Amino acid sequence: MKNKTLRLCMAGLLVAASFMFIAAGGKKTITVKGSDTMVILAQRWAEEYMAKHPDIVIQVTGGGSGVGLSALINGTTDIADASRPMKKSEMEKLKLRFNSLGSEIKSAKDGVTLYLNESNPINELSIDQIKAIYLGEITNWKDVGGEDAKIILYGRENSSGTYVYFRDNVLDGKDYSSLMQSLPGTAAVVNAVSKDKLSIGYGGAAYAKGVKMLKVKKDAGSPAYEPTTETIKNNTYPITRYLYMYTRAKPTGEMKDYIDWILGDEGQAIVAKVGYFPVK
Amino acid sequence: MKPHPKSSFRLHEFLAEKSIAAIAFVSFIFIILILIFIFRESLPLVLGKAIDDIGKVGLWRLLSLSWQPVSNSPQYGLAPLIVGSIKVTAVAVLFAFPVAIFAALYTSTFAPRFAKEIMKPAIEILAGIPSVVIGFFALTILASFFQKSLGLQYRLNAFTGGMALSLAVIPIIYTVAEDALNALPKSMREASFALGATKWETALFVLLPAATPGIFAAFLLGLGRAFGETMIVLMATGNAALLSGSLFDPVRTMSATIGAEMAEVVFGDAHYNVLFFIGVCLFVFSFTLNAVAEFIVRQRMMKRFRGTA
């Protein structure tokens, strides 16, 4: 059984390698890997760009920001998408292998959105309440004004940039409650929250279909905001972040053209269409 | 078989023989290389040479009670993962084993020919369903069903994951147990009938005990499959690294942890070494199971139950 699988894998690899060889013949390939939050955006960018530039092939894969940055460090991708800034330790590793600190491009903005089930009576929470919920200090909805029932926590796997961003910016770097169920991908979190009455989850704004977006207050006294183009552009929505693209060195040639196009009007129009927010 | 003394040297036979031998040898080498690779990548941990943000990482760090590998103070406690694996495996095997054994008894003893010809392939096809499909089925349908019917707090939990896993385990236990029952000599059955035993008595008191070694092997193989299965548990158990005894809490298993985190780690990181160490644990476990199935079952139990080796 194992031998068979192994040989099949080998054969598959050979076929894939030969395909790549053929593909590389006429066209330039740019590989993009990383953040699951950004996958839907990166794919749309790639599709539109390839339609306009038939000589360029852009391959997009997800996996999580950590996956993308590891791939960048290991030399297996040209561009890494990340929904969090690169860590110091990652930069050091990049420097060690390629003698470069990498190049950072802020390609879009996102509000980390908290999802609630549509039947949940709660509409707004403060950052402190959200923090206490995810640290496991508040475990019952009645403590934040809801019904008397246990809060079911959903989150992302620890390979996710959103996982790290949320921990560093909402939980002040403390660890999530071990009761949090981690699901592979934002879509899975949204799906779970839409089915689970007493649950709460987080992820990118673009994914919030079939669930309720929670309005977030900076502190108990301040007004609550929903993530919209307006509130994110002027930073009134309290959990706003950039979505980054990283390259090993300053982009040149085809890669530079691609990134310039993303940052230009056309690329940023796609950002808004997908459900995220333009940088400018 | 010795070649005929007069037969001359035949080139194509020689080539065919050698190339088959080479292919067999290559796959053996691959297994060995994979093994060496897994052990080598976990070695820094065993030697206490792995380093993370807060210092050296040795085996002692695996004794912590929580699993928070991506953290400002990383914790690599394996206890929640081991407990998780055990809970899910226990549910899966405890459900799958009786179902599969009774199914095997039915098709090998009671079933009329047509029923047997439908049921046997049907159960065996179950083994061919990709685990990601079973996982997705569990995530969307089984989870809601169990939550509603049992009034569970968590949609995704050890019980739901275990039940989904049993769908993958049943065909394995069934196939091996069925073969064991069919391999029994016909005379055994006939002798039992001749002594006036009913079909039921024959099945329960004659055939089942006689097939015990094979059924035990089926049990062990099912156990190994359940312990190592990744995709189903990754999708259906909620993946919260909780140290709790309840079967209805979400769990994170060892295999799901590797599946979820391996793609993300930076090569050579302490976290990377720990994941490979979990891989080593899983390997040692399934290797032991297979060895037990092979040696003890063959050597000891065959003798005791049948009087032959």
Going edge to edge, which strands form the sheet with A79-82?
A: A56-61, A28-34, A79-82, A240-247, A103-111
Long-range contacts: A73-76, Cβ < 8 Å, 24+? A73/A97, A73/B266, A74/B267, A75/A248, A76/A31, A76/A33
Whether residue A241 is predicted with pLDDT greater than 90 in this model: the reply is no
Mean pLDDT of A34-50: 90
Whether residue A9 is predicted with pLDDT greater than 60 in this model: the reply is no
| Cβ–Cβ < 8 Å for A91, B288 | no
Is B22 a domain residue? no
- Sequence-distant (6+) residues with CB within 8 A of B161 are B88, B91, B138, B232, B233, B236, B237, B238, B251, B253
H-helix or E-strand containing A163?
helix A161-169
Q: Tally the C-alpha atoms within 13 A of residue A42's C-alpha that lie toward its C-beta.
A: 28
- Nearest CA to A38 among A155, A213, A160, A154? A160
Say if the Cβ atoms of A173 and B72 lie within 8 Å. yes
Whether residue A246 is predicted with pLDDT greater than 90 in this model: the reply is yes
Token digits of residue B48: 């206490």
Whether pTM exceeds 0.90: no
Q: Distance between CA B129 and CA B66 in Å, rounded?
A: 34
Query: Given this model, what pLDDT does residue A7 score?
Result: 62
- Sequence-distant (6+) residues with CB within 8 A of B119 are B103, B106, B107, B111
Whether residue A160 is predicted with pLDDT greater than 90 in this model: the reply is no
A24 interfaces chain B, CB cutoff of 8 Å = no
Query: Given this model, what pLDDT does residue B309 score?
Result: 40
Q: Distance between CA B95 and CA B247 in Å, rounded?
A: 13
Q: Distance between CA A180 and CA B242 in Å, rounded?
A: 9
| Cβ–Cβ < 8 Å for A172, A164 | no
Domain that includes residue B265, residue range: 75-306
CATH architecture of A2-109+243-274: 3-Layer(aba) Sandwich (3.40)
Note down pLDDT in tens along chain B; length 309 residues: 555 555 667 888 899 999 999 999 999 999 899 999 999 998 888 888 887 777 778 888 888 888 988 888 888 999 999 999 999 999 999 999 999 999 999 998 888 889 888 998 999 888 889 999 999 899 889 998 999 999 888 889 999 999 999 999 999 999 999 998 988 888 888 999 999 999 889 998 999 988 888 898 899 989 999 999 999 999 899 899 988 888 999 999 999 999 888 876 777 788 889 999 999 999 999 888 888 888 877 776 666 665 554
What tens digit of pLDDT does each residue of B218-251 get?
999 899 999 999 999 998 998 999 888 889 999 9
Say if the Cβ atoms of A175 and B263 lie within 8 Å. no
Residues belonging to chain A = 280
Query: Given this model, what pLDDT does residue B2 score?
Result: 55
CATH number at residue B231: 1.10.3720.10
Q: Which residues of B touch A163 (CB under 8 A)?
A: 70
Nearest CB to B263 within list A63, A174, A183: A63
Token digits of residue B255: 């295999």
Dihedral Cα A242, A190, B68, B40, nearest 10 deg: -90
β-partners of residue A101 are none
Query: Given this model, what pLDDT does residue B74 score?
Result: 87
Nearest CB to A195 within list B66, B155, B252: B155
Interstrand relation of A79-82 and A152-156 (parallel, antiparallel or unpaired): unpaired
Is B84 a domain residue? yes
Is A113-238 the same fold as A2-109+243-274? yes
The count of CB pairs under 8 A between chains A and B is 97
Q: Is B18 exposed, middle or buried (0-12, 13-18, 19+ CB in 10 A)?
A: exposed
What tens digit of pLDDT does each residue of B121-174 get?
999 888 889 999 999 899 889 998 999 999 888 889 999 999 999 999 999 999
Domain residue spans of chain A: 2-109+243-274, 113-238
Q: Which CATH superfamily is domain A113-238 in?
A: Periplasmic binding protein-like II (3.40.190.10)
Say if the Cβ atoms of A67 and B263 lie within 8 Å. yes
Query: Given this model, what pLDDT does residue A115 score?
Result: 94
Q: Which residues of A touch B144 (CB under 8 A)?
A: 195
Query: Given this model, what pLDDT does residue B101 score?
Result: 94
Q: Distance between CA A100 and CA A267 in Å, rounded?
A: 27
Q: Which residues of B touch A97 (CB under 8 A)?
A: none
A179 interfaces chain B, CB cutoff of 8 Å = yes
- Nearest CA to A71 among B69, B265, B52, B71? B265
Say if the Cβ atoms of B240 and A178 lie within 8 Å. yes
Mean pLDDT of A194-204: 90
| Cβ–Cβ < 8 Å for A206, A274 | yes
Mean pLDDT of A164-189: 88
**Distance to chain A for B107, nearest Cα, Å:** 26
**Distance to chain A for B206, nearest Cα, Å:** 33
Q: What total number of domains does chain B contain?
A: 1
Is B24 a domain residue? no
Query: Given this model, what pLDDT does residue B264 score?
Result: 66
- Nearest CA to A215 among A86, A129, A88, A103? A129
**Confidence class for position A1, pLDDT limits 50, 70, 90:** very low
